[in-house]
Structures are given as structure tokens and as C-alpha cells.
Structure 1
Amino acid sequence: MRGAPSALLLALGAAMALGPLSSASAATIPDVGGARLERVAFADLPGWEADDHAAALAAFQVSCGPILEGRAALRPAAAAGVDLLAACRAALPVAPADARAFFERVFVPHRVIPPSGRGFLTGYYEPELAGALAPTARFATPLRARPAGLVSLAEGETRPGVDAALRAALRDGAGGFRPVPTRAEIEEGALGDAAPAIVWLEEPGEAFIVHVQGSARIRLDDGRVLRVGYAGRNGHPYTSIGRLLVERGAIDRDAMSLERLLGWLRENPDEARALMRENASYIFFTLLDSHDDALGPIGGAGVPLTPGRSLAVDRGLWPYGLPFWLSGALPDADGVVHPLARLMVAQDTGSAILGPARGDWFVGSGARAGTRAGLIRHATDFVVLLPRSETERHQGALGGESRR
């Protein structure tokens, strides 16, 4: 799940808790996080018929597990609501060949129109890096485990003695709470043995990128490959160091990429250490020894991500499991731009993913996926598929609703 990728506070307040999660209720809600929802038909979505709906259905069915079981998410998001729950129940018996018909029968597309007119999409990936299980002269930068007393806080949730803006707290051992230290404080030893290192990496910049991506594959000298996944964060606000470098003129905006950022961090170690500490957010990890190597890392929803189908969204505005149709144009790993017309599923979140038409697309694992993810910073059109209300589902069963 994305490490850096806090969520935008709801402009809708209690209305969102009731949920614009059905097409009927959406008509009564003026906006979501400042964006207008405009109901459209599936026929209005360019490329809809040609997409691999079975792949999207498989991702959606994975997302439905926690929703149907009432299982808590790794990072809490907006409530799913009864209509999304009903959509999940309906999805269980659907075969891949019937995927398109399922989405058209159970959901209604709504164009998400933010004040800027279009949404914005970035990409993220699962790095693969060399590492060690014990510190050495080469491997001296730790990834740390979640402290035992860490409490993750949802939007609007607070703890006594902790700033309401923070999204996590530490139990103080006396029945109270205290703020979790910042990145700089943790690196200076503020957590002591409470957050032991689980693996050691070669470069501080590499560790920072793992914090941003939220997961990684670690290659050991004996040939084993371990996986680390997101286990929590210190709850402090995220600051983009790439944006800081652009603002300060260190890297041109058009030239900014993941490779360029890593190169700058390597070439400027002293400045890099200070720069990375300007991002107070810090991510904790866990070893995923039993995780299926064929699956992606675990996202904020608590399910494995699917390369090309999993989307990180603003968890304060959208529930996990909602399908989104994205259209536009994106580069591949070679920089060649291709049309984008794809159904994705909200399965993750990130501290930098703020707004109703802001997404982060999980590209995959490894260096080539990282190259592509680093190139994706593109205006994109977002359409959210909201589950039909019970009334509309009944009308559809009676033939009163077009499945266009």
C-alpha cells in the first residue's frame, strides 16, 4: 500500500457517511470533495466495450472479501454502505464471461468533474532492492517494524493529548497517548527498541522510496527474495520531496522522474538527508514471508493489489472496492504514449492522494514498472461506478432500467 502516497477532509460531512454510494442518492448530493458528479451511460465511455472486464471483475471480487466479512481495512476509508455491500454479494457467483454484463447491471457510471475540469493520475510500483537481515557496512539503512503501542486514526478520530491533525498516536503505558515521533526524531532513535529493524537496505534514498511506495521485494545475498509490506505510519503529514526539489530549482519540473530523484539523492547525500527529513511522515513495515509471490503487495484495503487494475484513491472520500473508469493517455516504460481506457478498482490509498479525481495506479513490481510509474503524471478523466440503489436494482429486474 502506498506510504505516500492524510486524506482530504470531507466537504460533505455527515452526508458522505450516509454515502453517495448509490446512483439514486447521488442526485441529491451536490458534490464529492468539491467535484460534481454527472450521471452518464456506459455507451458514453470511450473504449468501454474493448476493456478486459473479467480482469476488473477479479480485482473487484478480491476487494469484496473484507467488505462482506466486515474485516477492518489496513488503513480505514469511507464506509462502503449497503449498496456496495449488495453489489459484492451479487459479484460472488459471476463468471468471467459475464463480467461486463455484471458491471452494467449493478453499477451506474458518474463522471467526476473537479473544479479543474479533469482529474490527475500518477503511478506507483513495488521496488525490488538488495538488502540484508542484519546491518553491515554495505547495508546500514533500516526499514522498521510497527511499534506495539501504535494506534492508527481515521479521519475525524482523535486521542487525548495528540494533535487532531495527526493520524496516529502511541500508547504511553499509563493509559494515555502521545504523538508518534517525526521522521527526523525516529532516525535519531526516538523509538528506541520499540520499532526494531526488520531488514537493512543499501541507501537512505532507496529506503525513502520504499516508504513512498509502501512495499518492496528485498533480494538477499543467499538468493532469497523477501517481501515487506505496509504496517502503519506515524501519522504526520506527508511532504513531497520531489516537489520541494522542483520548487527550489534543483530539478526541472519536466525532467522530474523517479530515476532523476534517486540520482539526486545519491549524488547529494548530506543535502538529501536534510531534505528527506522535511517529510515528517514515516512508514513502518512487516515481513510478508507467506505472501504469494504471484500477487501484488497488500494495499490499504487489506487485499493484494492487481497490477494494472488497482487504484489508490482518497480514502476520506471514497470507500475501497468502488470501480473507477479512467480514460486519457499514459506513457509506457519507454516513454511511448498510449491511450488509456480501463476499469480499475479502489484498493489502496496514500497520504499524497487527495481529492475526488486524484488517483495513483499500481503498475507492478520491479525496475521496469518503476520506470513507467515514475513517468506517469497525467491529466486523466475519472468516472466512478456507483452501485445501484435497491429501488433501481428492483426496476432493473423488472426491465425498467436499460443495461446500456
Structure 2
Amino acid sequence: MTFRLGAALLAGLWAMSAPSLSASEPEPPVPPHHRILDFADLDGWAEDDHAAALDAFLVTCGDLRDPDWTALCAAAADHRDVARQFFELFFRPVEITHHRTEALFTGYFEPELDGAPHASPRFRWPVYSLPPEVTGDGPWLSRREILSTDVMAGRGLEIAWVDDPVELFFLQIQGSGRIRFPDGRVVRVGYGGANGHDYRSIGQELVRRGVYEPHQVSAEVIKNWVRRNPVEGEELLMHNPAYVFFREVSEVPAERGPLGAMNRSVTPLRTVAVDPEYTPLGAPVWIEKDGADPMRRLMIAQDTGSAIKGAQRADIFVGTGAAAGDRAGTFRDPGRMVVLLPIQRAYALLPDLVQ
């Protein structure tokens, strides 16, 4: 503590004597801060089902190519009966924080929509695959331009047609889902690309307009408002210019979770979406989520999302279907996230730690 205080005082004196940056010069980037913890510092660690977390870890660890991770993956399969000891022996908990960021936990799920392989008076809203001219090099057409022109017509880009444009909008937010046809067949779709526009929250827009207070907003509240106000609701959806395209991933068995960013099935309440700028994909992550539905458990960073930005930002995969969606929609909670890194990786951060 003495060294930290001394360093802070020296930094303050330097700042007073150093020339100030001109208005046109950007501030230098502030690196993230890392702090190695003990497993005893993790609230509820001893009570978790570490074997379930190890099973989720094994789904994706074989895709990790760095030698320290591949060695751990090879050892993991032999430690199913002593999963807690495996994590404690080979990992160290590292708390990663960044300036002006607070922990935020949300939830996501895999929706299931009613649809059909062809358009009909009931099934009128298409689920599109990615147009070949959308390369990701820059923004393409906005949501409004895609839906209000015939740019997509007659190109055979429809994967399926669904009966609810509001559910389709939220399917795009989730990035994956299942579409159930009248004959019982199920088509699973996953993220196939986007139009390159930044996501804008329609929930925040409703708050800005004074329709709701922030604590009142949830996915179901938004859906119901749009349905009660079809004209204004359609215009509200256009507030978000981002548009997501899909690809069919029906090769994934129905009993497995949808594919995450690592192209492997995600596991309900064991997979978390993170910002890979701070948390490596495939790493175990200890979650301490507070709020009305508190959670203390070990998860695996197996997914990402365009809205998941920051060292302490995480999106918890809850499951498939309406019940999972209802629960996921209630998550917007503070807490703490701690990444488990291989021992050598954790202690390689020591230059950052000794400050």
C-alpha cells in the first residue's frame, strides 16, 4: 500500500509539472489493471459444481492452440472426479478491471420462433442470410433501407419465414435461435454477419421518450408495447439501424445448445459471453452476480457480442425457449467477474501487478 501511495503522489506531482495535452491530442490509453486473487477470495467457490464447469470447459478447450492451454486441456479429461482440485492446481484467479467501467451482468437465450420454409399470409417476415456484397469492410444499408426497399427481393436469401416481426427483431439481438415449422421440423440459425451499423437500444429510446422508467424496461415490456402500438412500434424498431443476417446450423443436435463465438455449442448457465479484448475465449470465468437472482458459479468464456464491451461486462447464456427468455430478461445486475488463467499466464502479468 505504501508503494501505491508513493507512486500516486509522484504521478500527481508529474501531472502538475508536465505540459498539458492540447485539445486536439487524444489522451493516452489507460491499460487494464490485473490483480491475482486466492481461490478463498471467491465468494461461494467451495459450493459450486466444478464438474459441470469442467464439462463445459472441455467443449472448447480442444480448440485452444497456445501451449499452456493445450496442456491444461489434455489434463482436464483425467480430472473429472476432482474438478475443483484441477482448477485450483492449474489456474490462478485474476481480477481484470479498467478505468471508468463497472461490472454489469445481463442474460441471453436461444429464442424459438414459429415459421415456415415458404412465405404465406401468416408467415410474412423473412429470415435472411448474408448478401455476398456485405463484406464487413464498412457499413452497408441500414435496417430501414433493408426493410423498406426491394434490395433483398428475388435473391433466394430467405432461410425461412416467421409469423412475428417483433420476435424476429429480438432473434437478431440474441444472434441465434430455432424456427419450428408446422410439420414439426426445426431449423436452427446462427449469426451469419451484420450490416455494420452500431446497435442502438430501443429500450433506452423508450426511456428517453418518457414511456418507461429504466427499472421498468425488459424484453417482454418492449415486445408488448410494440404490439399495442403497431405503427409507432414499427418505427421504434427502425431506431436500431443494425441488422443481423443468419446462417443455418441445423447440424447441431436439438438437445445441444446453439453455437457460440468458438463455433461450439454453448451450455446453459455455464457459458458466458465476454469482451475478448480483456478475457480470452475458452477461459474459465468466476461469476459473482448480485441482484434479485444472485449467482455464484464457474462459467466458461465461449461467446461474444457486439454489446459486450469492457473488462467486467458479461452476458450469461440462460438456455432455450420462452422460460429461459423470461429469466434472461431480468438480468441487469452488478457484481464481479474473475478470470481463471493458467498459472504461468497469470504471473506473467506481474509487471502490471507491482505498481
The two structures share one fold, judged by TM-score above 0.5:
yes
Partners of 1:377 and 1:199 lie apart in 2 by: 32
Q: Secondary structure at the match of 1:66?
A: coil
Equivalent in 95, 101, 116 of residue 111 of structure 1: 95
Matched, 1:95 2:56: no
Could you state the TM-score of these two structures normalised by the residue count of structure 2?
Answer: 0.83
- For residues 390 and 273 of structure 1, the distance between their equivalents in structure 2, rounded to whole angstroms, comes to 49
Note the C-alpha offset of 1:314. Answer: 1.3
**CA distance in structure 2 between the aligned counterparts of 1:33 and 1:325, rounded to whole angstroms:** 24
3-state DSSP of counterpart to 1:368: helix
Secondary structure of 2:204 counterpart? helix
Partner deviation per Cα, 1:178-211 (whole Å, 9 max, x = no partner): 7422222221233445571111111211110000
Is the counterpart of residue 259 in structure 1 residue 244 in structure 2? no
Alignment partner, residue 162 of structure 1: none
- Secondary structure, in 3 states, of the residue corresponding to 2:317? strand
Q: What is the aligned partner in structure 2 of residue 236 from structure 1?
A: 197
Give the structure with higher Rg (CA): 2
- Per-residue displacement from partner, 1:58-103 (whole Å, max 9, x unpaired)? 11111123324xxxxxxxxxxxx55334433443x33321221111
1:324 aligns with 2:285: yes
SS at match of 1:295: coil
Aligned partner of 2:145 among 185, 206, 229: 185
Match of 2:206 among 236, 245, 248: 245
Written as runs of structure 1 = structure 2, the 5 A alignment for 1:3-402 is 35-68=32-65, 81-91=66-76, 93-115=77-99, 118-151=102-135, 168-169=136-137, 179-187=139-147, 188-193=149-154, 196-330=157-291, 337-389=292-344
Alpha-carbon distance in structure 2 between the residues aligned to 1:277 and 1:85: 45
| Cα displacement (A) at 1:278 | 2.2
**Correspondence for 2:11:** none
Give the 3 Å change call, closer, same or farther, for CA 195–230 of structure 1 in structure 2.
Answer: farther
Q: 1:88 to 1:63 in 2, by over 3 A?
A: same
User: Does the C-alpha gap of structure 1 residues 50 and 293 become closer, same or farther in structure 2, counting only changes over 3 Å?
Assistant: same
Give the superposed CA RMSD.
2.3
Distance 1:237 1:200, change over 3 A: same
| Deviation, structure 1 residue 345 | 0.8
SS in 1 for 2:237: helix
Once residues 390 and 322 of structure 1 are traced to their aligned partners in structure 2, the CA distance between those partners, rounded to angstroms, is: 12
Task: Describe the SS at the equivalent of 2:334.
Answer: strand
Number of the residue aligned with 2:3: none
**Aligned residue pairs, count:** 319
> Quick check: 1:142–1:199 contact (8 Å CA) kept in 2?
yes
Please report the TM-score for the alignment, with normalisation by the length of structure 1: 0.73
Q: Which residue of 1 aligns with 2:22?
A: none
- Distance across 1 between alignment mates of 2:332 and 2:320: 18
Partner SS for 1:244: helix
Separation of aligned partners in 2, 1:35 and 1:203:
43
Distance 1:116 1:95 in 2: 39
1:222-280 per-position Cα deviation (integer Å, ceiling 9, x unaligned): 22222222122222211111111112112221111111011011112222222222222
Shift of 1:110: 1.4
Q: Deviations over 1:332-361 (max 9, x none)?
A: xxxxx3431101111111111111100000
Change (3 A) 1:192 1:56: same
SS of the residue 1:94 aligns to: helix
